Amino acid sequence: MEANLCGRPTTGEELHVCMGLNSCAGQDADRTATMAGTGQCATVQHVCHGEGACRGQGGCGYAGDDFEQFHPGEQACRYNGSCASPINESRVFSGGPMKGKSVWQQARRLFEARMYAAGKAFGPAPGQGVPDDRFPEYDRLTPPQAGTSDKVTALFRASADNPRAHEGVRFPDLVAIARNSVGRHLPGARITFTIPAEDAAVLYFKPDGRPQSATSTVTTDSDGVATADPLYAGHTSPGDQWVTVTAEDDDARCEFHVTVLAPQGQQ
């Protein structure tokens, strides 16, 4: 199989996150699978937790809550589950009941359970995840674009999407990663986390010793990681809230969905 096929979807068919997880013959990246469970690779790629085609993708071993981490490749939405895809051979869970164990093996167990429940035959997987030295396209270095190697061209969430907190309680830190045009994490970049004006009473940043604010501007560390000032839940709201992340003078952006819970005792 050509490496650049890995992660290329077969038009109009289901998407899956790694080898051995296809539910039909020919439903893999190069259309050579003879039956369910024998596909060579994922038919979709995405870079990390929540970056897939649907918000709230299942955990891959790097991020996500315990429930999400327990369900790689199995998500009740139209597209793919899991986090970064394809799943490499050595990837293990960072938390939850499977901590330290293989992400691909758990994804395969869940796949086999679905096949048994459907009464569908399946064959042996060609491996237990893609080789660790095979980089998906989003991790391949590309020639730098003139004048952009020192600019942020992509921002990614590095902490779980949709953190939740009760009114008056601090959320888990919002963390983003900045990359430049050659795919390197970019240190020293100014990153701004912004709460929309309509949510100013619902959310607020409260840096130590400073007034609360609707924005938090920070600088990425030596690893290109930006951690927002402490974010707190304000008044409960029935709607969705978002925090937008942008890079100074650049077009890169990403978003966090956050939820303010009703005060404890009023649920």
The residues near 127 (Cβ < 8 Å, ≥ 6 apart) are 19, 20, 89
CATH number of the structural domain spanning residue 198: 2.60.40.10
Please tell me the total count of domains within the chain.
2
Last residue of a domain, one of 106, 140, 174: 140
pLDDT of amino acid 97: 78
How confident is the model over 9-20, as a mean pLDDT? 65
16 and 136: one domain? yes
20 and 133: one domain? yes
Measured CA to CA, the distance from residue 84 to residue 17 in angstroms comes to 9
Last residue of a domain, one of 140, 163, 194: 140
Beta bridge partners of 155: 178
1 and 127: one domain? yes
Interval 27-43: pLDDT, tens: 777 788 899 899 888 77
Specify the 3-state DSSP secondary structure of 96.
coil
The residues near 107 (Cβ < 8 Å, ≥ 6 apart) are 17, 18, 21, 72, 73, 74, 82, 87
pLDDT of amino acid 9: 47
pLDDT of amino acid 174: 93
Within a domain: 266: no
Average pLDDT for the chain? 77
Within a domain: 148: no
Structure tokens at 75: 């998500």
123 and 179: one domain? no
How confident is the model over 112-128, as a mean pLDDT? 91
pLDDT of amino acid 197: 83
Within a domain: 149: no
pLDDT of amino acid 60: 60
Interval 212-261: pLDDT, tens: 899 999 999 988 899 999 999 887 666 678 899 999 876 788 888 888 88
Give the chain's count of helices (H) and strands (E).
2, 10
160 and 243: one domain? yes
Q: What percent of the chain has pLDDT over 70?
A: 70
Q: Which domain range does residue 241 map to?
A: 154-261
Beta bridge partners of 224: none
* pLDDT value at 10 more than 50: no
Structure tokens at 234: 């304000």
pTM listed for this prediction:
0.50
3 and 117: one domain? yes
Last residue of a domain, one of 105, 140, 175: 140
* pLDDT value at 81 more than 80: no
pLDDT of amino acid 265: 53
What kind and span of H or E run contains 191?
strand 190-194
* pLDDT value at 3 more than 70: no
